[in-house]
Amino acid sequence: MKERRDVFFAIADESRRTILMKLASEEEPIPISAIISGFGTSRSAVAKHIKVLEESGLVSTEFRGRENYISLEAAKLEEVYEWVFFFEQFWIGKIHKLKKMVEANYKKTNTKK
């Protein structure tokens, strides 16, 4: 068995979170091309992200016809407090940005005085 990657590492990346959201909005496994079409990036970049997700157990892939089909392993995702985690990561990043912005603006108004 492959060495498993940490789930938190897998979902720490925004592109990979986006892929998971896309998968969660579908009922059935979707072909890799459907994921790629929503991205402005190369096929190989998307394939790498999917490989990381697969190694962490968050998705599974199945070769059907000419394409790999990807499906979400929701049971695995449940380990990381479901979708709440996505928003948590989102807000942590945004609040950090807010803090930096307000503090920079405050310094500016102080030096003007």
Partner 1 sequence: MRPQIQILSFIEAPPHMVWRSITEAELISQWLMETDIRPVPGFKGYFKMKPMPGFDGHITCEVLEVIENRVFEYSWQGGWMKKPTTVRFTLEEKDNGTLLVLEHRGFEGILGNLLRRMMSGGWKKMLTQKIPSLIQAMS
Query: Which residues here bind partner 1, judged by CB under 8 A?
Result: 18-19, 21-27, 34-35, 37-39, 72, 74-75, 77-78, 81-84, 87-88, 91-92, 94-99, 101-103, 105-106, 109
Instruction: Tell me the closest approach of the beta carbon of residue 56 to partner 1, in angstroms.
Output: 17
The per-residue DSSP string of 40-108 comes to: SS-HHHHHHHHHHHHHTTSEEEEEETTEEEEEE-HHHHGGGTTTHHHHHHHHHHHHHHHHHHHHHHHHH
Joined tokens for residue 54? 């697969």
d(CA 102, CA 76): 38
Single-letter residue type at 24:
A
Nearest approach, Cβ of 73 to partner 1 (angstroms)? 9
Q: Which lies closer to partner 1 via its Cβ, residue 51 or residue 102?
A: 102
Measured from the CB atom, the residue of 45 and 74 that comes closer to partner 1 is 74
Cβ at position 109, least distance to partner 1 in Å: 8
What minimum distance in Å lies between the beta carbon of 51 and partner 1? Answer: 18
